[in-house]
Amino acid sequence: MKRLAAAAILACCATAAGAETCAKDGPAEIKAVYDHWLAAYRAHDLDGTMAIFAYDVVFQFQGAPDARWADLKTSYAQEFASHPSGVWSPEFGAIEVSGDLAAAPSEWRLMDGAAVKAHNNSIDLFRRDAKCRWHIVRSLNYPLKDK
C-alpha cells in the first residue's frame, strides 16, 4: 500500500511541476509550423527557417548524403546569401498525429512565377518537445519530374 501511495505522489508531482499541457489540434498544429517555415524562408530568415528542425534531424534527399542540422543551416545560409528567387508551394496529404509524433506527407514545388524550379515529394516526421513545439526529426525527400 505504501508503494502505491508513493507512486501516486510521484506521478502527481511529476506532472504538476512545470509540465505544459500541449494543444491537441492535430494536423492544424503541423500546418501552422509549416506556415512559419514558409514565411521565414520567404524572408530569408535563417533562424526562423531552422526553427522547424530538431537539432538531431536527419534530412535525406535522394542521391545526396544525409544532412544534419548544421549541414542544413550552412546550406540555407549559402542559399540566402545568393538572394534566390522563388516561392515554395506545398500540397499536404493526410497529416497523422499520434501523441507527440506526427507524419506529414507532402508535395512541394519551388515556383518562380509560372515556372517550376524544383518539384519534390517528402515525408516529414515530427516530434513534439517538452515545450509543446513541433520539430522535424526525419525528412525523406525525392525529386519528381513535371509532366
Check which CATH number belongs to the domain holding 30 and give it: 3.10.450.50
Domain count, the chain: 1
**Single-letter amino acid, residue 88:** W
Query: How many whole angstroms separate alpha carbon 46 and alpha carbon 69?
Result: 12
CA distances 72 to 2, 53, 57, 75, Å, are 52, 9, 9, 5
The answer, as to whether pTM is greater than 0.85, is: no
134 pLDDT more than 70: yes
Q: Are 109 and 121 in contact (CB under 8 A)?
A: no
Q: Is pLDDT larger for residue 53 or for residue 15?
A: 53
Residue 17 falls inside a structural domain: no
- The CB density around residue 74, as the number of other CB atoms within 10 Å, is 11
Q: Are 61 and 75 in contact (CB under 8 A)?
A: no
Residue 116 falls inside a structural domain: yes
Q: Is 63 left (phi over 0), alpha (psi -120 to 50) or beta?
A: left
pLDDT, tens only, 16-62:
333 468 888 899 999 999 999 999 999 999 999 999 999 999 999 99
Residue 3 falls inside a structural domain: no
Residue 47 falls inside a structural domain: yes
The domain of 40 spans 24-143
Query: How many whole angstroms separate alpha carbon 64 and alpha carbon 66?
Result: 6
Q: For residue 31, which phi and psi values (nearest 5 degrees)? A: -60, -35
74 pLDDT more than 60: yes
